[in-house]
A and B are shown apart, each in its own frame.
Chain A
Amino acid sequence: MSFADIQQQARQSWMRFARPDVPRVLVGSATCGRAAGALDVLAAFREQCADDPALKGVDIHEVGCLGMCYAEPLVEIRGSEGSSVLYQGVGVDMVPDLVREHLGRGKPMVEHAACLMAGPPVEGLSRFQDLPMIRHQLRVVVRNCGIIDPSNIDHYLARGGYSGFTRALGMDQDAVIEEIKISGLRGRGGAGFPTGLKWSFARKSAGDVKYVVCNADEGDPGAFMDRSVLEGDPHAVLEGLLIAGYAIGAGHGYVYCRAEYPLAIERLRTAIAQMREKGLLGRNVLGAAFGFEITIKKGAGAFVCGEETALMQSIEGKRGMPRSRPPFPAVSGLFGKPTNINNVETLAAVSAILEKSGAWYAKIGTEKSKGTKTFSLAGKITRTGLIEVPMGISLRTIIEDIGGGVLHGKEFKAVQTGGPSGGCIPAKHFDLPVDYEHLAQVGSIMGSGGMIVIDHESCMVDVAKYFLEFTENESCGKCVPCRMGTQHLLRMLTDIAAGRGRVDDLETIRKIGDTMTKASLCGLGQTAPNPALTTLNSFMDEYLAHIEERKCPAGVCRALIRFSIDAGQCTGCMACTKACPVQAVAGKKKKPHRIDQNVCIRCGACRQACKEGAVMVE
């Protein structure tokens, strides 16, 4: 079958799926949706529809993630009237109503809806692309996520999938690389190295056997962009890998995926089997003189295995430990052969670029940072989720417009980007354009795209300590600056948080941080001090308060705070008494309560429980 036939067939299958007169239910059941109960909701829909003979024809599908984590589980319903409505926060108890009203009677339930996805307008519902969270986004990498059934290759094909690859196949290999260079795409795995340039190195390396590797070992705490793409649109990544393989002359690709992503691995397996069925893998891919195979490798869960040299060691069955470069993987990589390694998001962008053209991609973004970038928005923000924005968008737009501002309208203090390798950007840089250069300028990094919003109730020492706890644990232990440096940084941060800090610790943190940045072997150690160094630079007063006044201004560090109850505000509702795990709060009903400081363990449960805001922290 020719590719045109394959596409034709796929379009037919997609048409049925997309036809506005067929009622259907799409349940967002990626890992994030599942965590919110999507599978129960899915089962409930199946049951309800099976019970009613009139609804036998309803198509029920699982789809990937639309990125609106705060609103999960998300269900898109299209009734016979043709309007596709996205419902948010769907619980099993809502299913009978939704089935009856929307599917049965063709009456969308506006009170549960988030937006209109497609079809005739519905009174009181804005369109998906007009939602404040979506309006500023540009969905390239996640173009299909939440829209297609990721276990159906036809859906991908019908939406232009693999046409980028067929285009590449018709081009000279160097021309493919040139196309990527034109696009200006830079690696999305963290360091931002120009992808086209990297490919050209691997292409130029001598050798018959070469490899391409997809790095799907997303290990930053709080980052889940890669997982979403793999779960919602695996073919976008696999097509990118195929193109990379063709461009550099590799016959074998590996996808190195963390074992903690079972659904992603399942989706990849299904997708690879489908590729083989369609002739997109094998000795002669689509009948061309290009052979390609893909193997999935499960990672053992060490953060450092995301580092490219460690990752390759791990694929080889050795302990995942970085080694010094040069030689670079493009010269001597997997099994000593020239290897090109790219991140999930990079490859998903590659397939889009080959489909649409490098020039198209280069129009997006800023001069040096082209295209779009995904972020996982988390922390103290109203709308958490996965977003994709053009490079150069301001932090303010991301946080205020897309994210809906700081949670509960509190004051914005800082944003942490780049996870454990990144830094904290203080509020004064609120209008900073988000791209590689500007983030670096303020001491942070793009990283893989974690973005954690911090408000005034978060302590910066505590934030730094949190990330150092992570890196101290995840340092592979090979090189001295990182292994010992993380231990000392964590020790001093712990001391400071516990009120045992000394002023000269701050100087030592700087000195050790500098040594780690310059002398560590791999990126983990080189960037591990960033959370400490950037908070120290921007929030020196907070550190000094901990050390000199033995106070935690944010009221977070347990050793330095005490909770007390403002007798004036306390109504004696006893909510705090019930919440306290150690019975430190006492008081009669309707009378002001008191906290016994000797018993209190400073967990803050009372403060959260109190509706009057009577629990004070100092």
Chain B
Amino acid sequence: MKWTTSDIDMYLKAKEYVDTAIIPLIPLDWEKDQKGAVSKGEFSSILIEEMEKQFKGRLFQLPPFTYLISEHNESKIARLKEWDRHFFDNGFKHIIYVTCDGDWKRVEQQIPDLLIWVPALPLENLDPGYAKEMITGQMKQLLPLITDKWQSEPKERNS
């Protein structure tokens, strides 16, 4: 489900079935590498779009968690934990963070739930048909991460 009023109506009627939130982690940079930041954001939204389509009835796609690339890890993580706490306490047993920013991979241990990190592919240079195939290929690997997560217990949050 998406961040729209019609999907929220559906959610409110079927809450007990929707136990998973997906949050994009999107870096911002208007100083050095604008294009790099944009391509990370663009690629992760393509992936999330697909995930949402597959799992519309169980997964809620939240607006992105954005940050300047210059923001320190401690501060980002602290903010992220607040988001996590808020959505976990209010109905989402599973929270999946999706990003193309490799920095998160290095602090994965400190992320409260599942991190899916995928390097951004330069889709703009590809023939659209081929790009679609690549995405389909990626999805084949990513979707099981989500269904596997559903087989496991929700991740414990300390305190």
* A in complex with B: no
Report which A residues bind B (CB closer than 8 A).
Answer: none
Report which B residues bind A (CB closer than 8 A).
Answer: none
